[in-house]
Structure 1
Amino acid sequence: MTRPALLVLQDGTVFRGEAVGSDGAVTAEVVFNTAMTGYQEIATDPSYAGQLVTLTYPHIGNTGINAIDREDRHARLAGLIVRDVPPRASNWRSQQDLRSWLQEEGVVAISGIDTRKLTRILREQGAQGGCLVAGAEADTQEAWARAQAADYAGMSGRDLAGEAGVRSTTEWRRGTWRLEYGLADADPDAAPHTQPGADPADDSDSASASESATGSAGTAAAARYHVVAYDFGVKQQILRLLVDHGCRVTVVPARTPAAEVVALQPDGLFFSNGPGDPQPMDYAVATIRELLETHRIPAFGICLGHQLLGLASGARTVKMKFGHHGANHPVLDLASGRVMISSQNHGFAVDEASLPDHLEATHRSLFDGSLQGIRRTDLPAFGFQGHPEASPGPHDVRPLFEQFIAMMAAAR
């Protein structure tokens, strides 16, 4: 038996479809993602907190859900908007169908709407607020949903990263899962994050991140470098790749003071991806500035971490019209002239026109010319706007992890 669902945009546009997740209502920013694969990674990416994600690929759920491919233990997006959810999932790694998983996770979701029309609206008018209602009462709540969407305040000025990551320091020792290991070696609970409001110290799942090292191309025992990762909403695959490259990773909360990090004696610092606007995160900007300029510890920032690195270095950030969300974005490496296809997920960007003399542009988007990479010329630190771990997406930008390793080696 089908259940109705309703999506009302801030501009008043109404879409009606079928509920494929949990009953309920949510108001958030509506964005679109053009990736053809990776719906599970997208749904569990903490960077999507506070957003209703429209997937432009029409068939979502074909391969089901498994415990290995997620980027966090739980769904992180505010809601999901798709064209079609097939009635049957088929994949040898599938452990659950998408509909039941969305319901278990409490995610409000709608299918059966014209996602092409919705994407055109967002491209032409920009990302905007929307109210998604699912369940038996959806047919009678259009007026209420319209009012909720109209009152949406937007993402600018919202610090969501402070609540997206770990609540206490933890160790991450797990590398990437590989096909030859099979499903038995997967640790579904090896995640640095807890449920919203939970304390990892009281969560038995948190310990698995520090205890398990099976199925890994690199483990803590073989680590050559100690990396402290600031968790603003980090994706698991980023941490896995750091381990693969010979790093012992200590994950710390977003508000961890510089003195505590210095006491850990890291070889390098990692500033993670995450949701929301970087500008209100004064605490992170001040800490990053101190760690870089006073202690000169090699550093690598991704996505939100890249933006915070820019702010800490004297640049400005801006809200984009509809952002970059997808797995097919061409990026130009300004030094080599090489074009790389990248995975992207951000609604804010560092303003290239605001770069001070000690901050150099290294990468630029070939879609809209926006800044994609920066490098400090006076100390060992660099950032990249996209997601070089490519989960989901291509691996063209993955060598940035090797650049980080080389930077730490040179600093010894």
Structure 2
Amino acid sequence: MTILQQAAIMTRVMALKSIARPVLARPVFKAAAPYRGLATVADTVFPANQAAPKPAHSAPYQFDASAPKATPAALKLKSGHVFTGTSFGAQNSSFGEAVFTTSLVGYPESMTDPSYRGQILVFTQPLIGNYGVPSQEKDQFGLLKYFESNKIQCQGIVVNDYATRYSHWTAVESLGEWCAREGIPAISGVDTRAIVHLLRDQGSTLAKLEVGQEVLENKEVIEFPNPNERNLVSEASTKEPYELNPMGDVKIALIDCGVKENILRCLVARGAAVTVLPWNYDFNSVMDQYDGLFISNGPGDPRAAMATVQNLATAFKSPAPKPIFGICMGNQLMGMAAGLEVYKLQFGNRGHNQPAINMQNGRCSITSQNHGYALDDSVLAPGSTLKGWEKYFVNANDGSNEGLRHLTKPFSSVQFHPEAKGGPQDTEYLFDDFLSLARAEKVKNSAKPFFVSEPLPKNVAKPIEIVA
């Protein structure tokens, strides 16, 4: 080792010794109770089915020392499995199809999504309720800013850890207060991981969310009604037509199978005038008044909406077709009208992290989804078509259909939710694509051109009159 190398080593050693050792910082105070990080507001106690008070600001509530002890609750599956916990919602029981969602955020949006109608929703995210529930504030279009409909649509919710304290600048009440006020049972303290394993292995199953002191002693045989045997689309759909943004530059007829508020917002915010029609409305008789047709999402078995399927089949045969776009159930109904069959998925795709591959360019988008049925597109092998239809998107996880596209006509649909709410907005451009087609059709099919040229009057020589 040379003298220069020895000198370099000694320099490094001295430099390391000169560096101060880190000092472990200790907290200067100790919390009196194990509060959660963002927890500042606690549940209040009030009679069930009565409106909770709306505070003017997010000031902390105090725990009620006289509050009754937690009420036992149990989730009973048709398979015979029973999960016990405590109730934090309405003090009543309900039936439904037990399904799970992998969404990490957005419980107010999920619970008010009409596609969850008839279902008991199990959250895989352990902590639920930590940011409370916002108000029913509306935006400039008259649509709810924070919810997907004006009420809770699911039959009940199941969580591992309910946050009794919440903190968010938009919150006006807790999740428990909201559920109690709307008559929705809720259970906390159960092993949601075990429930999800069961649902993934055996498939979505019917269930009962039971609340009361006698839940453990109740051994009677339960008859589980199947909500999918009802026409849930009819229940979720509007009963009368209504309009949004009537002064929009392009007119869209929207068939409401259980539409989300953010789908409507994505259309009217882009300048469309939207007329919302009931699910079984004969839109073919009025399509001359519109520039495009939109088929919305919705709950339950799509085979309950055969009236919509028949109307779509008629629209597909039109010699001058208007652009048609469908989302979620809209994809299934359009596929059935094209000649495809539907089947029930084992446990469905519900969450904000579903990968969908665009078959046109190979790009994969992360999407928000909520559906228990899917189209059987096995007849659409790669490179093949059915009456001019081809695959548009495919799920990268299970290979299920995520969309259809017609080769020559302006028809397309997707199984996922481009409008998200909550979740990624990677595919929101599909609204732009649809409205661009509708605007192009409006110009092409306009009965009157925007400018009508008229011949100018000829100059005629007139004698000059001299006025004295």
Class of the TM-score when normalised by the shorter of the 2 chains = 0.7 to 0.9
Q: Which amino acid aligns with 1:42?
A: S
Decide which of 360, 366, 378 is 1:353's aligned counterpart. 378
**Do the aligned residues in 2 keep the contact of 1:159 with 1:276 (CA within 8 Å)?**
yes
For 1:163 and 1:42, locate their aligned partners in 2 and report how far apart those are by CA, in whole Å.
Answer: 18
Q: CA deviation at 1:315?
A: 1.1
Q: Which residue matches 2:35?
A: none
Aligned to 2:431: 401
CA positional deviation for 1:135: 2.7
Output the amino acid matched with 2:238.
V
With over 3 angstroms needed to count, the CA separation of the structure-2 counterparts of 1:374 and 1:88, relative to structure 1, is: same
What's the CA shift string for 1:358-412, capped at 9, x where partnerless? 1110100011011101012242111000111001100111111111012213323
- What amino acid does structure 1 have at the position aligned with 2:239? R
| Counterpart position of 2:278 | 253
The match for 1:91 is: 168
User: How far apart are residue 354 of structure 1 and its match?
Assistant: 3.8
How far 1:357 sits from its partner (Å)?
3.5
1:166 is aligned to 238
Match of 1:291 among 315, 319, 335: 315
Whose relative contact order is higher, 1 or 2, with alpha carbons under 8 Å and at least 6 apart?
1
Decide whether the 8 Å contact of 1:4 with 1:16 is kept in 2.
Answer: yes
Equivalent position amino acid for 2:263 in 1:
I
Residues 1:147 and 2:222 are matched in the alignment: yes
Matched, 1:362 2:392: yes
Measure how far apart 1:260 and its partner are: 4.6
Larger radius of gyration: 2
After superposition, the C-alpha distances for 1:203-225 in whole angstroms (9 at most, x for unaligned) are: xxxxxxxxxxxxxxxxx44x221
Q: Please give the alpha-carbon distance, in whole angstroms, between the structure 2 residues aligned to 1:120 and 1:336.
A: 35
Please, which of 304, 317, 320 is the counterpart of residue 342 of structure 2? 317
Q: How many residues align?
A: 359
User: What is the DSSP-based 3-state SS (H/G/I as helix, E as strand, rest coil) of the residue aligned with 2:316?
Assistant: helix
Measure the CA separation in 1 of the matches of 2:332 and 2:110: 21
- Out of 288, 291, 306, the position equivalent to 1:282 is 306
Q: 2:117 aligns with which of 37, 46, 49?
A: 49
- In structure 2, what residue type is equivalent to 1:286? Q
Q: 1:227 aligns with which of 249, 252, 256?
A: 252
The one-letter code of the counterpart of 1:123 is R
Q: Which has the higher helix share?
A: 1
Cα distance in 1 for partners of 2:210, 2:415 equals 33
Distance 2:112 2:347 in 1: 21
Contact 1:258 1:290 in 2 (8 A): no
1:376 has 2:397 as partner: no
**Counterparts of 1:285 and 1:352, CA distance in 2:** 17
Give the Cα–Cα distance (whole angstroms) in 2 for the partners of residues 44 and 365 of structure 1. 25
- TM-score, normalisation: structure 1: 0.84
Listed one character per residue, the Cα deviations across residues 124-156 of structure 1 (whole Å, up to 9, x for unaligned) are 111011111113332332x23x5234xx4463x
Q: Percent identity?
A: 37
- Which residue in 2 is equivalent to 1:9? 77
* 8 Å Cα contact 1:44-1:75 kept in structure 2: yes
Q: Is the Cα–Cα contact under 8 Å of residues 272 and 305 in structure 1 kept in the other structure?
A: yes
Q: 2: CA distance between counterparts of 1:82 and 1:292? A: 44
Cα distance, 1:259–1:405 mapped onto 2, change above 3 Å: closer
Counterpart secondary structure, 1:404: helix
Q: Distance in 2 between matches of 1:4 and 1:333?
A: 47
For 2:190 and 2:410, locate their aligned partners in 1 and report how far apart those are by CA, in whole Å.
48
Aligned-pair CA distance for 1:282: 1.5
Q: C-alpha separation between the residues in 1 aligned to 2:251 and 2:112?
A: 27
What secondary structure sits across from 1:308 in the alignment? Answer: helix
Whole-angstrom distance in 1 between the partners of 2:348 and 2:388? 27
* Paired residue secondary structure (1:322): strand
The residue matched to 1:369 in structure 2 has which SS? coil
Contact 1:269 1:298 in 2 (8 A): yes
Q: What amino acid is aligned across from residue 369 of structure 1 in structure 2? A: G
* Matched residue SS, 2:374: strand
Q: For residues 123-134 of structure 1, what are the structure 2 equivalents within 5 Å?
A: 123-134=200-211
Q: Say if 1:3 and 1:134, in contact at 8 Å, map to a contact too.
A: yes
Whole-angstrom CA distance in 1 between matches of 2:230 and 2:388? 28
CA offsets per residue over residues 258-278 of structure 1, 9 Å max, x none?
345326x11111100000111
Gaps of 5+ in 2: 1-68, 137-144, 381-385, 443-468
* Residue 35 (structure 1) aligned to one of 97, 103, 114: 103
| Contact 1:361–1:375 (Cα < 8 Å) also in 2 | yes
Contact 2:227 2:300 in 1 (8 A): no
Instruction: Write the distance in 2 (CA, Å) between the matches of 1:172 and 1:274.
Output: 20
Name the SS of the counterpart of 2:325 in structure 1: strand
User: Structure 1's 243 and 17: CA in aligned 2 closer, same or farther, altered over 3 A?
Assistant: same
CA RMSD across the alignment: 1.5
Given that 1:56 and 1:82 are in contact with CA atoms closer than 8 Å, whether structure 2 keeps it comes out as yes
C-alpha displacement of 1:280:
2.9
For residue 73 of structure 1, report the CA deviation from its aligned partner: 0.6
The corresponding residue for 1:385 is: 415
Name the CA distance, whole Å, in 2 between partners of 1:87 and 1:108.
16
State TM-score, norm by structure 2. 0.74
Q: Which amino acid aligns with 1:267?
A: D
